[in-house]
Structure 1
Amino acid sequence: MTDQGNGQPSGPINRWKTLDKDLGRVAQLEQASAAISRPMVAIGISIVFVLVCGLAALGLTGQGSGTAIIVAAAVFGAYMALNIGANDVANNMGPAVGANALSMGGALIIAAVFETAGALIAGGDVVSTISGGIVAPSAVADPDTFIWAMMAALIASALWLNLATWFGAPVSTTHSIVGGVMGAGIVAAGFGAVQWATMGQIAASWIISPILGGAIAALFLAFIKAFINDVPDKLAAARRWVPLLIGIMAGSFTAYLAMKGLKKVVDIRLDQALLMGLAVGIAVTFVMRPLVRRQSEGMENRKRSLKQLFGMPLIISAALLSFAHGANDVANAVGPLAAIVHAVQDAGTSERVTIPLWVMMIGAAGISFGLMLFGPKLIRMVGQEITKLNQLRAFCVALSASITVIVASALGLPVSSTHIAVGAVFGVGFYREWEAERRARILNLQKGKPLTAEERKRRKLVRRSHVLGIGAAWVITVPATAVLSALLFLGMNRLF
């Protein structure tokens, strides 16, 4: 629109258009710089932490002939702990974050506190698998050879975890360190030095862990749908069954923590842990009945309302899983470091390697730092990108994680907590997928229309790319770390 007198625009003129464009470009540059600087800051903090751990090791061990080796091992042990925090803790917190029961910030704080508490209060005081379970100690009689084998295993497993985290694949830290010890042990003492029966059990756990975890999670989800979600009076059903489910969770976590998290405090047999779990489960069930009834008052008789009843139990389960993880998997970070310290200071490779307190603190702090700095990527992947989770489904995942460990321990089967948790997420997703397809098939048959291949594809609720990618990472973890460790061991022998 123009002024008829002079042909100039009659509306307001934007005289700041050029400046707005320039400011927009500056804002984009600032955003890009911030996106680049965030990972750089995290890497910088990690480097500082690793150097501090090396200096701490130097100050605590004093001057001696093997001090340089201990300092180097402390540096790589800290690096390994950072990678465990970045990769492995996602399995505990991912479902709760994906279900929106916890914010990312809340999850990071809870996990850091409980991981550290588990490592320092109930962290294992021996590393029998590292020192004698994979490679026979008698096969590596020379302390120097043993030291370099452990160093190679530590570096190889840390590098593999770093690579897996970068690609967004949650892998087993236990399998990583086991593969590293195996590879260096084969080069150091030959294939006969490896305890192949133990390795066979570990290989079997690649299949057993995710299938068992997925099956148990799917069974609980099917139970909840059949007896709570899909009945006319959902609130009455919830008041009947939710206290029992929470009691089962409390009992299973009691047994889980008794067996896996309190070894350093007290030695508990499987039958004793199960009795403790049963007693706690019954007590919690009775305590929760009036609480659930009070919480459900005023709720609508809808599925959406029922999810609120599982929010707090899910948060508690995530915290307990983190405690148990810190108690158990801190040894994966500092096991080889403890073995190296033992070999340097005692000139031996005893099958029982005590972890000094300062070594345990490096592992606990490293896991917490790694979680805070790099953990969100894997937490989002496990909780949001494999399949859609809500409080109810995530509760089934957490419940499956604790029960599966107990079942596996009772059967004498070695399992990976990573494989169990991720397998449970897959199990929940595949069950929902099967249920949705079953209902669609019945509905279409009633209409006289078969379910087409295109319709089946549209109803997929689990991302197949993650199934294939994570499965491949699981399978190659042990061989990849074994080959990398073997190459590092050969290189160290040539250099030193």
Structure 2
Amino acid sequence: MSNAPKGNQWKTLDKDLNRISQMEYATMAVSKPLVAPGIALAFMVVAGIAAALFFNETPVSFVVVTAAVFGAYMALNIGANDVANNMGPAVGANALTMGGAIVIAALFESAGALLAGGDVVGTISKGIIAPSSVADSGVFIWAMMAALISSALWVNLATVFGAPVSTTHSVVGGVMGAGIAAAGLSAVNWTTMGAIAASWVISPILGGAIAAGFLALIKAKIIYQEDKIAAARRWVPVLIAIMAGAFAAYLSLKGLKRIIKIDIGTALLIGAGIAALSYVISAPLIARQSEGMENRNRSLKTLFGLPLIISAALLSFAHGANDVANAVGPLAAIVHAAEFGDFADKVAIPTWVMVIGAFGISFGLFLFGPKLINMVGSQITKLNPMRAYCVALSAAITVIVASWLGLPVSSTHIAVGGVFGVGFFREWHAERRARAHSASRPPELRIAKEERRRRKLVRRSHFMTIVAAWVITVPAAAVISGLIFLILNALLG
């Protein structure tokens, strides 16, 4: 007698298999959003294991392992939030795909952190809290732990709400809040805090003004010329030279501290030499690339594509060299205090700590970066390669100007300020042209003021959200840090 299923049994089997396949699809749909947090959690666990293996003291300090886990968490959040400012304009201008931007940024961020990241870091984040005000090394360790956790939590929260914030200012707020909780208001260097607060205003305004100035130059000298291609042959090599010179000076000044100390004058001389060399190389290349191009704006976008990609990569390298300390500064301070039983203004960063920072930034960018990249690149204002190029140029030049003036500035505020500067300049320029055009039309064909207002080129909702996030970053991180310190000190102190 045959044991094969009968007709009705086949139908039942098909229904059961269909239910199983639907269950599998449902499980995949539910688990998909959990993949990125799962990988991030695994990286944090690996960071803790690395701390247990590489920390010099025996037995292994629970405090150091915990700090390494939270240092990895902070690095992941820097990658998710801060790196968007370097890659967002290039992606928004369609010069790079999202995948290409993530690969380039991950490579150059890691290279910047590992090759040019400072080997010594200020543990009290630019002299905000005097070490002498925190008498006990145990109290100091909990203060740094609170600063690390609070700054990471704040950057994470800002990323969830789609607000690009300064991770430097988050760490500053965390250190200040923990310092106040540990030693009172007198422990804070309020002069330094005042300079940092001033940078909230100076960074975006300076970045926006420089970006708008370059866009005005491109419009006047290239876009509005009768022969756009001939104008581009003259001016694009000049703009490439300015970019190369600015980045050479920027990287000499900020990105090579581990290798050699360079003053502002020497950095500018290096920049001038690289600018001249870049002009000599790029002029014939642009002339060859522009042969046979149509006399229209789309052709111009092609000429700016490659320089924009190079500038985004260089920004990422410089960011990795400078901002990895935000992730590992408090961690390095905790490792030093746990190993030697004391604390200082500056400590050496162990290689394993720097590796956690570098890889954490790359993982954070890969897993969570696309949200902020899209926001900076396409949701504030519409960007093309020329506008995005102005933002990248502005970022490098503003840092050099700020360093020369001795002003503490935020790379996040500069880059986002550059995007806003380009957008607001376009609004002003479009309004001026509309008024001039409207004046020559009969009254019935003129565009009403209300309609012109509706056609704003910068989304005001994003503007207000980002500015609000910038203003409350330091106080919010400080409050969170103070509370975490009090809890840690009460439970474990």
In which range does the TM-score fall when normalised by the shorter chain? over 0.9
Picking from 380, 384, 387, the partner of 2:381 is: 387
Partner of residue 320, structure 2? 326
Q: Is the 8 A contact 2:301 2:385 kept in 1?
A: yes
Q: CA deviation at 1:360?
A: 0.3
CA deviations on 1:135-160 (whole Å, 9 max, x unpaired) are: 00111121001000000000000000
Structure 1 ranges of 4+ moved more than 4 A: 23-36
Q: CA deviation at 1:93?
A: 0.4
**Aligned equivalents of 1:40 and 1:210: distance in 2?**
35
Partner of residue 492, structure 1? 488
Picking from 168, 174, 177, the partner of 1:174 is: 168
CA deviations on 1:438-457 (whole Å, 9 max, x unpaired) are: 11111111125465332222
Partner of residue 31, structure 2? 37
| Residue correspondence of structure 1 range 245-324 to structure 2 within 5 A | 245-324=239-318
**Aligned equivalents of 2:463 and 2:249: distance in 1?**
30
Q: What is the letter of the counterpart of residue 376 of structure 2?
A: V
Return closer, same or farther for 1:281/1:34 CA change in 2, 3 Å cut-off.
farther
Return closer, same or farther for 1:33/1:224 CA change in 2, 3 Å cut-off.
farther
Q: Is the 8 A contact 2:123 2:333 kept in 1?
A: no
Q: Is the 8 A contact 1:156 1:481 kept in 2?
A: yes
Picking from 466, 470, 475, the partner of 1:470 is: 466
| Residue correspondence of structure 1 range 438-449 to structure 2 within 5 A | 438-449=432-443
**Aligned equivalents of 1:368 and 1:111: distance in 2?**
8
Identity across the alignment (%): 69
Q: Is the 8 A contact 2:123 2:344 kept in 1?
A: no
| Residue correspondence of structure 1 range 156-171 to structure 2 within 5 A | 156-171=150-165
Q: Is the 8 A contact 1:66 1:344 kept in 2?
A: no
Q: Is the 8 A contact 1:131 1:349 kept in 2?
A: no
Partner of residue 12, structure 1? none
**Aligned equivalents of 2:255 and 2:267: distance in 1?**
11
**Aligned equivalents of 1:346 and 1:472: distance in 2?**
41
Do residues 58 (structure 1) and 80 (structure 2) align? no
Q: Is the 8 A contact 2:51 2:65 kept in 1?
A: yes
Do residues 140 (structure 1) and 155 (structure 2) align? no
CA deviations on 1:8-56 (whole Å, 9 max, x unpaired) are: xxxxxxxxxxxxxxx9999999887655433300000011110011011
RMSD: 1.9
Q: What is the letter of the counterpart of residue 211 of structure 1?
A: I
Partner of residue 10, structure 1? none
Q: What is the letter of the counterpart of residue 318 of structure 1?
A: A
Do residues 112 (structure 1) and 114 (structure 2) align? no
Q: Secondary structure at the match of 2:58?
A: coil
Picking from 423, 427, 430, the partner of 1:436 is: 430
| Residue correspondence of structure 1 range 40-119 to structure 2 within 5 A | 40-61=34-55, 64=58, 67-119=61-113
Return closer, same or farther for 1:383/1:116 CA change in 2, 3 Å cut-off.
same
Q: What is the letter of the counterpart of residue 102 of structure 1?
A: L
Q: Is the 8 A contact 2:109 2:317 kept in 1?
A: yes
Do residues 222 (structure 1) and 252 (structure 2) align? no
CA deviations on 1:197-238 (whole Å, 9 max, x unpaired) are: 111011001000000000000000000000100010111110
**Which one is further off, 474-483 or 52-61?**
52-61
Return closer, same or farther for 1:395/1:345 CA change in 2, 3 Å cut-off.
same
Q: What is the letter of the counterpart of residue 95 of structure 1?
A: P
**Which one is further off, 443-452 or 220-229?**
443-452
Do residues 213 (structure 1) and 197 (structure 2) align? no
Q: What is the letter of the counterpart of residue 441 of structure 1?
A: R
Q: Is the 8 A contact 1:131 1:339 kept in 2?
A: no
Q: CA deviation at 1:394?
A: 0.5
**Aligned equivalents of 1:205 and 1:105: distance in 2?**
33
Partner of residue 3, structure 2? none
Partner of residue 4, structure 2? none
**Aligned equivalents of 2:107 and 2:46: distance in 1?**
21
Q: Is the 8 A contact 1:126 1:354 kept in 2?
A: yes
Unaligned runs of 5+ in 1: 1-22
**Aligned equivalents of 2:145 and 2:456: distance in 1?**
45
Question: TM-score normalised to the size of structure 1?
Answer: 0.93
**Aligned equivalents of 1:35 and 1:128: distance in 2?**
45
Partner of residue 404, structure 1? 398
Q: Is the 8 A contact 2:93 2:384 kept in 1?
A: yes
CA deviations on 1:92-137 (whole Å, 9 max, x unpaired) are: 0000001111111111100000000000000012222626611001
Picking from 426, 433, 458, the partner of 2:454 is: 458
**Aligned equivalents of 1:419 and 1:162: distance in 2?**
17
Return closer, same or farther for 1:32/1:424 CA change in 2, 3 Å cut-off.
farther
Q: What is the letter of the counterpart of residue 188 of structure 1?
A: A
Return closer, same or farther for 1:227/1:129 CA change in 2, 3 Å cut-off.
farther
Picking from 170, 186, 190, the partner of 1:192 is: 186
Return closer, same or farther for 1:405/1:188 CA change in 2, 3 Å cut-off.
same
Question: What is the number of residues matched between the two proteins?
Answer: 475
**Which one is further off, 449-458 or 183-192?**
449-458
**Aligned equivalents of 2:131 and 2:458: distance in 1?**
45
Q: Is the 8 A contact 1:436 1:459 kept in 2?
A: no
Do residues 348 (structure 1) and 338 (structure 2) align? no
Q: Is the 8 A contact 2:123 2:346 kept in 1?
A: no
Q: CA deviation at 1:309?
A: 0.5
**Aligned equivalents of 2:26 and 2:468: distance in 1?**
33
Question: TM-score normalised to the size of structure 2?
Answer: 0.93
**Aligned equivalents of 2:74 and 2:199: distance in 1?**
23
**Aligned equivalents of 1:53 and 1:248: distance in 2?**
41
**Which one is further off, 171-180 or 123-132?**
123-132
Q: Is the 8 A contact 2:52 2:60 kept in 1?
A: no
Q: Secondary structure at the match of 2:348?
A: coil
Q: Is the 8 A contact 2:131 2:344 kept in 1?
A: yes
Return closer, same or farther for 1:132/1:445 CA change in 2, 3 Å cut-off.
closer
Q: Is the 8 A contact 1:102 1:315 kept in 2?
A: yes
**Aligned equivalents of 1:195 and 1:249: distance in 2?**
36
Partner of residue 4, structure 1? none
Q: Secondary structure at the match of 1:133?
A: coil
Q: CA deviation at 1:62?
A: 5.3
CA deviations on 1:438-496 (whole Å, 9 max, x unpaired) are: 11111111125465332222220010000000000000000000000000000011111
**Aligned equivalents of 1:331 and 1:446: distance in 2?**
58
Partner of residue 154, structure 1? 148
Partner of residue 364, structure 2? 370
Return closer, same or farther for 1:446/1:76 CA change in 2, 3 Å cut-off.
same
